[in-house]
Amino acid sequence: MTAVAETTIDFAKARRAMIDSQLRVSGVNADWVLNAMARVPREDHVPADVRAHAYIDRAIPLGEGRALAAPLVYGLILSEAAPTPQDKVLLVSGSGQYLAALLSGLAGSVDVVSAADGAAYAGRGGYSLVLIDGAIEQLPDGLAGALDEGGRIVTGLADRGVTRLATGRKVAGSVALQPLTDVGIPVLSEFAAPKRWSF
């Protein structure tokens, strides 16, 4: 798309259409979620040559095996996470800074690490909320350890080619992920489960 053609796109109108035709009709209706999604320009978080497609209802390739999930995925993540000003968030970013921008003003603080660093996380704990921007096959012990007791996690969960939104809470030192709903979430290869023999 040329720069001249792009100037004809009303991105603010596209954001409104995203909210009305993708989020609301899928049950994402909390005002605070919709306000965050309306506030952050998705077109600023994709490569220049695909800015015109920033608001389509599917993942957008970012290059190097990464993709920005469909808007509905972020609406669901925010709805399930329900970040508050009291939350200290660890965000594992698989697709740039879009989710971090959505969290701005919602959570008390947000620390961002890459997917590679998240998969091998051995940093400090003290987080009340861990968000993983992508689907994982397994949750590393390091990320579970980053959560305070009672802390919660929202992530995508990949199982035999199907991705689901999942959530968990740290209870008695461990975290069990519970799948919530099937939704297309880009898979993070850094979180692949070890291959097992089968007969």
Sign of CA dihedral 138, 141, 146, 152: positive
**Residue percentage of the chain with pLDDT more than 90:** 88
Sign of CA dihedral 185, 191, 195, 199: negative
**Residue percentage of the chain with pLDDT more than 70:** 94
Give the pLDDT score at 1: 42
- pTM for the model: 0.91
Contacts of 159-163 spanning 24+ positions with Cβ under 8 A: 163/135, 163/187
Domain ranges of the chain: 3-190
Q: Which contiguous run of DSSP H or E holds residue 167?
A: strand 162-171
Give the pLDDT score at 4: 39
| 6/154 Cα distance (integer angstroms) | 35
Question: What is the rounded average pLDDT for all residues in the chain?
Answer: 93
Give the pLDDT score at 195: 74
Q: How far is CA 56 from the centre of its chain?
A: 16
**Class of the 3-190 domain?**
alpha beta
Give the pLDDT score at 2: 43
| Per-residue model confidence as pLDDT tens digits over 44-62 | 999 999 999 999 999 999 9
As a whole number of Å, the end-to-end CA separation of the chain is: 50
| 180/165 Cα distance (integer angstroms) | 5
Residues 142-149, mean pLDDT to the nearest whole number: 96
**At 123, which amino acid appears?**
G
Kindly tell me if the per-residue pLDDT of 113 is higher than 60.
Answer: yes
| Per-residue model confidence as pLDDT tens digits over 79-103 | 999 999 999 999 999 888 999 999 9
Among the listed residues 73, 41, 71, the one whose alpha carbon sits nearest the alpha carbon of residue 56: 71
